[in-house]
Amino acid sequence: MGQIKHDLQDLVAFHYLEANQPPPHSPGANCLYAHIDMDCYFVQVALLTRPELRDRPCAVASSDSPHSEVSSCNYVARSRGVTKGVWMGRAKELCPDLVILPYESDRIREISRKVVSIVLEVTPLIEIGSCDELYCDLSVFLGEGSFMSKLEWIKSFLLFVWHCRKQIETQTGCSCSIGAGHNLLMSRIATKLAKPNGIVYIPMNESKNRLDESGVEILPGVGHVLKSQLSDIGIRTCQELRVCDRKELLTRTVGPKTASTLIQFANGVDSRLLSVVSELKSVSIQLSYGVRCSNRNDVLRYLRSLCSLLADKAAARKVQGSKLVLKLYKKISGSTTVKHLGHGPVDILRFPFSFLHSR
């Protein structure tokens, strides 16, 4: 899926440079970002050729082994307690009639490209988040809004977004949710509130209120560990984070940089700029799933294959490296691999090599 993301970034970069557009708008009152997120994407794609399963609980995973991981699940499965990332054994306990579907990589690539192409017809100012989500700069609508009342402008903008969402569904057969706001954070929050298959716009003056209603886990970067750390010091909601009077304790708990970012996010402030063309600093190939080498020759064939893929990838991007880093996963002695065909607990070893280029 990482390769699909890179291909989409190349597609956007080509159109952006061809259009000779100015850079994206900076977050604030004169900026309007939209976040488009496909709903339970992998499952939707798999169901395109299995329409008879639409009303049944479905999930996409590498296998139905108890130790495989749910990658995506539809809302029927979610209503039974199944979530992304749960082990299949647990998922089957929660939902015994769960239908396991395979990854449809080629179709995912095709549909993702189609979605991006639809948005490119509107604006080349697009940041690819992954194969199933993107951000775009629709600030042009703010200029048009100067000739309308606020209510007329909101109706006009939401009607446009509705047509965009409808076009995506018509051309791909997959639904999406769209959120809009005046920075990247609030557009993403709006999308979460729009799920599934909805549209939400959050005006600047409503940012704090919308956040206050939510738990801290809605903020970017707040996973299970950070959520637990915040809970331990009595912070469970964005409102509690925003009005926190124990900033020193917060800083000691999560570190000064994270504390500062969290407080800004809790206030609806996000200075990050939409990134259309990101600077390419490295090209990599990594495969850590399903690797099983039984002898030296298997290892050599595997490494040659990876090197060939890496060389092709670098050539396609017209770049030349000055350093090569070989990363190896070494199994921790006595550890057990739980996930089917996974690598289990490992020590990660890094071996850097520098190239000497002749002039």
d(C-alpha 25, C-alpha 182), whole Å: 10
Ranking 64-68, 180-184, 315-319 by mean pLDDT, the lowest is 315-319
Active site residue 133: yes
Range with lowest mean pLDDT among 11-15, 142-146, 187-191, 301-305: 142-146
Q: pTM for the complete prediction?
A: 0.81
Each residue of 9-49: pLDDT tens digit?
989 988 888 888 888 999 998 899 999 999 999 999 999 99
> Residue 66 and residue 190: Cα distance in Å, rounded?
35
pLDDT for position 357: 57
Looking only at the bridges linking them, the beta strands covering 58-60 and 99-101 are parallel
Least confident of 99-108, 138-147, 229-238: 138-147
Structure tokens of 192?
């979460």
Q: Please count the CA atoms within 13 angstroms of the CA of 59 that sit on its side-chain side.
A: 32
pLDDT value of position 195: 94
Choose between 6 and 175: higher pLDDT. Answer: 175
Q: Tell me what pLDDT residue 137 has.
A: 94
- Residue from 110, 133, 169, 248 carrying the catalytic annotation: 133
Residues 161 and 145: their CA atoms lie apart, in Å, by 15
Question: Strand 126-130 to strand 346-354: parallel, antiparallel, or no bridges (unpaired)?
Answer: unpaired
Q: What is the pLDDT of residue 313?
A: 79
Counts for the chain of helices (H) and strands (E), in that order: 14, 10
| Mean pLDDT, range 200-221, rounded to an integer | 91
Least Cα distance to 36 among 148, 150, 175 occurs for 175
Determine the pLDDT at residue 146. 59
**Residue with the two structure tokens 């709903």:** 39
Q: Which domains does the chain have, with CATH numbers?
A: 1-40+105-204 (3.30.70.270), 50-101 (3.40.1170.60), 210-267 (1.10.150.20), 296-354 (no CATH)
Show the tokens assigned to 256.
């000064």
DSSP-derived pairing of the beta strands 176-181 and 99-101: unpaired
pLDDT of 358 strictly over 50: no
